[in-house]
Amino acid sequence: MKAMILKQPQQRLQPSDVGTPSIEANEVLVEVEACGVCRTDLHILDGELKNAKLPLIPGHEIVGKIVQLGKVVKGFKEGQRVGVPWLAYTCGKCSFCLNGQENLCDNAIFTGYTKNGGYGEYVVANENYCFAVPDKFDSISLAPLLCAGLIGWRSYRLAGDFKRLGMYGFGGAAHILTQIAHAQGKEIYAFTRPGDEKGQKFARQLGAVWAGDSTQAPPHPLDASIIFAPAGPLVLTALKSLRKGGAIICGGIHMSDIPAIPYDLLWGERIIRSVANLTREDARTFFETVERVPLKTSVTEYKLENANEALDDLRATRFEGAAVLSIRP
């Protein structure tokens, strides 16, 4: 099969022909139709996330059709379209798994990081860690929901009970969540890089009640903010606009260091917390929500062999919304 492979951190992906992977009894073989390009992929390529399986086929926002079932697989059928997310396996035995926190499992395996992912024509998935996906989306439009949507949704839920929500970094996750929040009657305040007037216009078009750059203060104190941009200093920026009792959610898997925080910014029972991975329950509630609200992903499409170009464009913020590799027509 054709695949794009990372051989060493800080190198370009290499187009390669590799064997089609074999499956175990509880696995399915998925012919990949589309795979989203995520900022986490950049963190892996840049070596900011350690312990990646190398050589590695990246990609964890995968949509495709099952072409082979393992001998004990019962919940799926051949030809069925499924989504394959970041979380690929948890042990089910550790204290985290037993307490409904499988996203924190110490023995977890992650798609496109510690096992091969979707930047290739086929991917293997454990039947318990992939799921049926809504019919109302084509595969290209659906792919960003598999991480930008799911991790964004977990961040959104952890923000608590809010009316006014700030989002710092208006990319794949923020453009999905803004539409959900707008449908639920929430107010979104979007923060972009300084000078990104195009991004601010995009946010307002999707339902944000206010959009500015990260050096600006919103017109009202915010109940919560989610930081998707991997920039630690934004935590202090967000705290300055947060009401007492509000929460800052750091929604990325990697962030630059957070500077020292003056205690008076944190005082008033303000909360800072991170989001780690996702649970299968997140996926269930997210896709139930997606079925009920109008949602359209903004996608820039690339061919598999142009994965490096897609990653370069993501790094430089050259598109609105999300990038997706089209692998099967």
Enumerate domains of the chain plus CATH numbers: 2-147+277-326 (3.90.180.10), 150-274 (3.40.50.720)
- Other CB atoms within 10 Å distance of the CB of residue 219: 11
Question: pLDDT tens across 149-189, in order?
Answer: 999 999 999 999 999 999 999 999 999 999 999 999 999 99
Residue 329: predicted pLDDT: 62
* Whether the Cβ atoms of residue 170 and residue 202 lie closer than 8 Å to each other: yes
**Alpha carbon of residue 237 to chain centroid:** 23
Which residues contact residue 225 at a Cβ distance below 8 angstroms, ignoring those fewer than 6 apart? 159, 165, 166, 167, 168, 238, 241, 242, 246, 247, 248, 249
Q: Which H or E run contains 199? A: helix 197-205
- Mean pLDDT over 292-320 rounds to 96
Q: How far apart are CA 86 and CA 130, in angstroms?
A: 10
Residue 328 has pLDDT above 90, yes or no: no
Identify residue 232 by its one-letter amino acid code: G
Mean pLDDT across the chain, nearest whole number? Answer: 96
Q: How far apart are CA 134 and CA 145, in angstroms?
A: 11
Instruction: State what percent of residues in the chain have pLDDT above 70.
Output: 100
Q: How far apart are CA 155 and CA 174, in angstroms?
A: 10
- Mean pLDDT over 270-291 rounds to 96
Which CA distances in Å does 95 have to 75, 86, 145, 279?
A: 27, 21, 29, 15
Rg value, the chain, Cα: 19
Q: Beta-strand (E) ranges in 131-274?
A: 131-132, 164-168, 187-192, 210-213, 222-227, 242-250, 271-274
Question: pLDDT tens across 236-249, in order?
Answer: 999 999 999 999 99
Question: pLDDT tens across 6-51, in order?
Answer: 999 999 999 999 999 999 999 999 999 999 999 999 999 999 999 9
* Whether the Cβ atoms of residue 272 and residue 242 lie closer than 8 Å to each other: no
Phi–psi pair at 309, nearest 5 degrees: -65, -40
**Strand order across the beta sheet in which 164-168 lies:** 210-213, 187-192, 164-168, 222-227, 242-250, 271-274
Which residue, 122, 91, 161, 134, is CA-closest to 23?
122
Peptide bond into 134 cis (omega under 30): no
Burial call 130-156: b when 16+ CB within 10 Å, e when fewer = bbebeeebebbbbbbbbbbbbbbbbbb
Residue at token pair 């917390």: 273
Q: How far apart are CA 211 and CA 188, in angstroms?
A: 8
